[in-house]
């Protein structure tokens, strides 16, 4: 692959706003003079442990340990290699990259993902033109008009129509896209009968799906008339994953960050709600609402309203989300629509206020599930009420918050008509049974670090924040003073970078590190105030004297162990040499301890 100019990499990183980039994936709140906090995009958590340091251009999650600079964030969140992360950022900020001379054959290999995105964009444009002008799209235009979608709406959402035959294949092949690229993007497939290429979507209304950066990554296609399947969606491709992409999220993310996400069932529902001013609406791409979708929504809000049709299938789909949302940590509420009507129907017939009222009346997921459960039990006999209590306790046991469980238990007792203590006892029994079969309590384990590890980390932190003030002390400390390969690696990189920098060390160190060392580096750096303080010199002296003391103590222990194995009668010279060395080490250790006492 062609090499990107090194100076451009550095200049682009300095120009880019890391907070702006990461805000596209996690809602960040100011936490300090130059730090921001939010929920980690890379693992499930209920309290923010993901920190961005705008001054240093670094991020670190104190929950999962990941960290890095803006390029490493893009690599991780977009699942792309380093060169493509640079190109992604350049496209976002409008920076023109320069490339070193390509070697033979490298030009065609560069940007495979970009080619698929370009093919998707070309397909979307072709289908949109067909919808607005092609004679064969008359029925599609009539259908959209009946749904209340004007030409202006179709333009805003880039709606399209896929003609029959192989119209798209012919168009894109004429634009220099290859058959392989069309198949990789699932825009075309090969006939098993004769091996010919044919359009994946034919005689269908097209709904493009965009990623969070506004790039077309896939499509949903609705059949006209009674053709089956009613909806057809892009299969998994290198740029599209149904479990992680949501229709409309690129448009809805800002509104969701201000309140809640509203999850509906279909593409037309999303469009109808947005056009009515309900900008929080999103939908899945033809698959059940799953953990990956909740992870996406959690980047912007911790609350989602699931608004599905009130038929049995809709309720079943809602119930399936219960276990997932409890695990991910998004508060999910259920908005029940009138029988036989979808959100687009309600907006068209009753207006936006009716949908807003439905959203405002949404029930918490647990309450909704309990109502469904208890609605199936007569509750007219002691046996029925006992059965209801036990079944309700199983549902209540899923909730991770003991306070919320207590509240729901009280509500359940009132609904069943029993004493609240009865439900609490059943819930306690249920949770004990769960723990006995392998359940575990929530919470993070608090790390208790040994003394020498704490001091080594403090030494690294001081070196990273105050390289010039630490330099004189660092001359007498080598990587052998650090007891883990990861800390040794960070120390070597920091020492090398300190020779060329007068300020605190940041992304220039991050690029050189292994994943384990990078995690430690950002943990020690992100959010650290590098400004000089009154007691800095004394703190540096204390930490670097202590690191020498710990190193000496390890060496003394090794020498004593070796001395015990040497027979003074059989090898008196070696025994005397080791003893002399041990005395010298002990004396050096005492001097350092006196230095510490004097500093104190």
Q: Which burial class, exposed, middle or buried, applies to 316 when counting CB atoms under 10 A from its CB (0-12, 13-18, 19+)?
A: exposed
pLDDT tens readout for residues 221-255: 999 988 888 889 999 998 898 888 999 998 998 88
Mean pLDDT across 518-530: 80
Q: If DSSP codes are grouped into helix, strand and coil, which group holds residue 536?
A: helix
Percent of the chain with pLDDT over 90: 31
Task: Indicate if the pLDDT at residue 447 is higher than 60.
Answer: no
Averaged pLDDT, 344-364: 91
User: Encoding tokens for residue 600?
Assistant: 């104190």
CATH annotation of 451-599: 1.10.860
Type and span of the H or E element at 239: none
Distance between CA atoms of 267 and 582, rounded to whole angstroms? 77
Angle at 342 between CA 336 and CA 346, to 5 degrees: 90
**Gyration radius (Cα) of the chain, Å:** 31
Provide the pLDDT for residue 38: 92
Question: What pLDDT is stored for residue 439 in this prediction?
Answer: 45
Q: What is the pLDDT of residue 309?
A: 65
**Model confidence pLDDT, tens digit, residues 252-276:** 988 888 889 999 988 999 999 999 9
Token pair recorded at residue 567: 């027979």
Strand boundaries in 215-255, DSSP class E = 216-223, 231-233
pLDDT higher than 80, residue 509? no
* Secondary structure of residue 338 in the 3-state scheme: coil
Give the span between the Cα atoms of 99 and 34, in whole angstroms.
Answer: 33
Rounded Cα–Cα distance for residues 50 and 522 (Å): 11
> Could you give phi then psi for residue 450, rounded to 5 degrees?
-60, 160
Residue 197 has a pLDDT of 92
Is the pLDDT at 26 greater than 60? The verdict is yes
CA distance 343 to 46: 30
| CA proximity to 148, closest of 137, 162, 159 | 159
pLDDT mean over 286-314:
77
Considering only residues 309 and 445, tell me which one the structure prediction assigns the higher pLDDT: 309
Q: Which residue has the higher pLDDT, 449 or 361?
A: 361
Break the chain into its structural domains and give their ranges.
Answer: 6-108, 111-233, 249-362, 377-436, 451-599
User: Rounded distance, CA 454 to CA 456, Å?
Assistant: 6
Give the pLDDT score at 73.
92
Exposure of 563 by Cβ count < 10 A (0-12 exposed, 13-18 middle, 19+ buried)?
middle
Band of pLDDT at residue 218, cut at 50, 70 and 90: very high
Domain 6-108 shares a fold with domain 111-233: no
Largest Cα–Cα distance in the chain? Answer: 107
Alpha-carbon torsion (147, 150, 152, 154), positive or negative: positive
What is the mean predicted confidence (pLDDT) over 82-110? 74
Instruction: Name the phi and psi angles at 336, rounded to 5.
Output: -95, 125
Which strand (E) or helix (H) includes residue 59?
A: strand 58-61
Q: Is the dihedral of CA 213, 218, 224, 226 positive or negative?
A: negative
- Looking at residue 272, what is its pLDDT? 95
pLDDT tier at 322 (50, 70, 90 boundaries)?
low
Of residues 165 and 199, the one with the higher pLDDT is 199
pLDDT at 151: 94
Helix (H, G, I), strand (E, B) or coil at 562: helix
What token pair was written down for 427? 């819930």
- Top CATH class of 249-362 equals alpha beta
Per-residue pLDDT at 106: 47
**Residue entry with tokens 């929920």:** 39
More confident residue, 137 or 301: 137
CATH no., domain 6-108 = 3.90.580.10
| Neighbour count for residue 100 (Cβ, 10 Å) | 10
pLDDT at 353 over 90: yes
CA distance 209 to 245: 8
Please tell me the CATH code under which domain 111-233 is placed: 3.90.980.10
Q: Give the pLDDT of residue 304.
A: 92
Residue-wise pLDDT tens digits, 577-594: 888 888 888 888 888 888
Angle, CA of 90, 95 and 97, to the nearest 5°: 80
pLDDT at 200 over 90: yes
* 173 pLDDT above the threshold of 80: yes
- Residue 533: predicted pLDDT: 61
| Mean pLDDT value across residues 271-283 | 95
The predicted structure's pLDDT at residue 314: 45
What does the pLDDT average to over 528-548?
Answer: 78
DSSP label at residue 83: H
Q: Provide DSSP, 355-386.
A: HHHHHHTPEEHHHHHHHHHHTTS---SHHHHH
Ranked by mean pLDDT, which of 148-162, 313-327, 468-482 comes out on top?
Answer: 148-162
**What letter would DSSP give residue 195?**
-
In 3D, which of 308, 305, 292, 367 has the Cα closest to residue 331?
Answer: 305
- The predicted model gives 27-47 an average pLDDT of 87
Q: What is the DSSP string of 104-169?
A: TTHHHHTTHHHHHHHHHHHHHHHHHHHHHH-GGGHHHHHHHHHTT--HHHHHHTT-EEE-STTHHH
DSSP-assigned states of every residue in 568-579: TTT-HHHHHHHH
Mean pLDDT of 458-466: 88
**533 and 502 Cβ atoms separated by less than 8 Å:** no
Q: In the predicted model, is pLDDT for residue 444 greater than 50?
A: no
Query: How much is the pLDDT for 534?
Result: 66
Per-residue b or e along 223-233, where b marks 16 or more CB atoms closer than 10 Å to that residue's CB: beeeeeeebbb
With residue 188 as reference, give the H or E element that holds it.
Answer: strand 188-190
pLDDT for the residue 109: 43
Least confident residue range of 121-135, 284-298, 497-511: 497-511
Q: What is the token pair recorded at 469?
A: 């003030």
For range 201-210, the mean pLDDT: 96
Q: How far apart are CA 342 and CA 277, in angstroms?
A: 17
Average pLDDT over residues 360-373: 87
Quote the pLDDT of residue 312: 45
Three-state DSSP state, 346: helix
On average, the pLDDT of the chain sits at 84
């Amino acid at each position: 692959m062609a090499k990107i100019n090194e100076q451009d990499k550095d200049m682009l990183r300095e120009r880019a706003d890391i907070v702006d980039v990461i805000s596209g994936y996690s809602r960040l709140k100011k936490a300090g003079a130059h730090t921001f906090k939010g929920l980690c995009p890379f693992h499930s958590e209920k309290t923010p442990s993901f920190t961005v340091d705008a001054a240093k251009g670094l991020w670190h999650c104190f929950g999962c340990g990941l960290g890095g600079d803006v390029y490493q964030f893009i690599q991780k969140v977009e699942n792309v290699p380093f060169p493509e992360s640079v190109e992604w950022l350049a496209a976002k900020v409008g920076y023109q990259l320069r490339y070193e001379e390509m070697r033979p054959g490298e030009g065609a290999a560069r940007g495979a993902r970009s080619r698929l995105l370009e093919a998707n964009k070309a397909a979307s444009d072709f289908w949109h033109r067909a919808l607005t002008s092609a004679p064969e799209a008359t029925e599609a235009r009539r259908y959209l008009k009946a749904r209340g979608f004007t030409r202006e709406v179709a333009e805003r959402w880039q709606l399209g129509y896929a003609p029959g035959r192989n119209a798209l294949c012919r168009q894109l092949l004429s634009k220099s896209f290859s058959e392989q690229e069309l198949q990789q993007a699932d825009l075309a497939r090969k006939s098993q009968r004769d091996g010919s290429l044919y359009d994946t979507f034919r005689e269908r209304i097209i709904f493009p799906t965009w990623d969070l950066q506004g790039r077309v990554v896939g499509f949903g296609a609705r059949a006209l008339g009674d053709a089956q399947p009613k909806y057809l969606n892009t299969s998994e491709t290198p740029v599209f994953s149904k479990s992680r992409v949501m229709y409309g999220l690129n448009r809805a993310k800002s509104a969701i960050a201000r309140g809640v996400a509203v999850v509906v069932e279909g593409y037309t529902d999303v469009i109808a709600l947005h056009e009515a001013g309900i900008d929080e609406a999103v939908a899945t791409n033809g698959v059940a609402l799953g953990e990956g979708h909740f992870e996406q929504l959690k980047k912007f809000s911790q609350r989602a309203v699931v608004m599905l049709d009130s038929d049995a299938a809709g309720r079943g789909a809602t119930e399936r989300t219960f276990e997932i949302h409890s695990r991910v940590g998004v508060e999910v509420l259920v908005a029940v629509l009138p029988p036989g009507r979808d959100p687009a129907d309600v907006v068209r017939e009753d207006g936006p206020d009716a949908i807003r009222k439905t959203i405002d009346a949404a029930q918490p997921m647990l309450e909704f599930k309990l109502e469904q459960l208890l609605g199936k039990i007569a509750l007219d006999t002691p046996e029925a009420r006992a059965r209801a209590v036990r079944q309700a306790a199983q549902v209540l046991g899923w909730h991770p918050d003991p306070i919320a469980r207590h509240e729901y238990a009280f509500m359940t007792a009132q609904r069943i008509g029993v004493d609240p203590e009865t439900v609490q006892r059943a819930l306690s029994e249920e949770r004990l049974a769960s723990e006995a079969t392998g359940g575990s309590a929530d919470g993070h384990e608090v790390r208790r670090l040994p003394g020498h590890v704490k001091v080594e980390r403090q030494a690294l932190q001081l070196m990273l924040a105050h390289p010039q003030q630490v330099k004189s002390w660092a001359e007498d400390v080598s990587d052998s003073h650090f007891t883990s390969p990861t800390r040794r690696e960070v120390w070597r990189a920091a020492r090398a970078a300190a020779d060329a920098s007068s300020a605190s060390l940041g992304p220039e160190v991050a690029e050189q590190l292994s994943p384990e060392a990078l995690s430690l580096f950002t943990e020690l750096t992100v959010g650290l105030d590098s400004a000089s303080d009154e007691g800095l010199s004394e703190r540096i002296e204390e930490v670097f004297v202590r690191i020498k003391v710990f190193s000496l103590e390890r060496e003394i222990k090794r020498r004593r162990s070796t001395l015990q194995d040497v027979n003074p009668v059989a090898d008196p010279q070696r025994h005397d040499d080791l003893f002399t060395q041990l005395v010298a080490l002990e004396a050096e250790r005492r001097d350092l301890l006196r230095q510490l006492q004097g500093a104190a």
